């Protein structure tokens, strides 16, 4: 059975769980590199502290997303 791998290679939205403002942290580096690469899809930072990072609204959990992200990058193990 063939699988559609487009969301993996060409996602329209990416959630970064553990996103941070510090460019030296894993989550901060991922956000920085997504912007630097010219990614044109939706970038959704997720951090329990909320607020904004790089002018992006931070969700406190994945449950706050209006629709599921096509790709999720996580910088920490789930608790």
**What is the domain range of residue 65?**
6-74
Backbone angles phi, psi at 31, to 5 degrees: -60, -45
H helix or E strand, kind and range, residue 31: helix 26-36
Instruction: List, for residues 36-61, the tens digit of each pLDDT value.
Output: 999 999 999 999 999 999 899 999 99
Q: Is 47 a domain residue?
A: yes
Q: What SS3 class is residue 72?
A: strand
**Would 1 be classed as within a structural domain?**
no
User: What is the distance of C-alpha 44 from the center of its chain?
Assistant: 5
Distance of alpha carbon 77 from alpha carbon 48, whole angstroms: 14
Query: Which CATH number do you get for residue 49?
Result: 3.40.50.720
Please check whether residue 35 lies inside any domain of the structure: yes
pLDDT exceeds 90 at position 5:
no
Question: Would you state the pLDDT for residue 75?
Answer: 75
Domains identified in the chain, total number: 1
pLDDT on residue 6 = 86
User: Nearest to residue 70, comparing CAs of 48, 45, 41, 47?
Assistant: 41
d(CA 21, CA 79): 21
Q: Is residue 79 assigned to a domain?
A: no
């Amino acid at each position: 059975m063939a699988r559609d791998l487009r969301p993996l290679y060409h996602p329209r939205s990416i959630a970064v769980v553990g996103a941070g403002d510090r460019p030296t942290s894993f989550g901060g580096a991922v956000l920085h590199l997504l912007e630097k690469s010219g990614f044109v899809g939706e970038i959704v930072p997720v951090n329990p502290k909320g607020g904004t990072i790089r002018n992006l609204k931070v969700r406190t959990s994945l449950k706050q997303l209006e629709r599921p992200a096509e790709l999720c990058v996580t910088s920490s193990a789930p608790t």
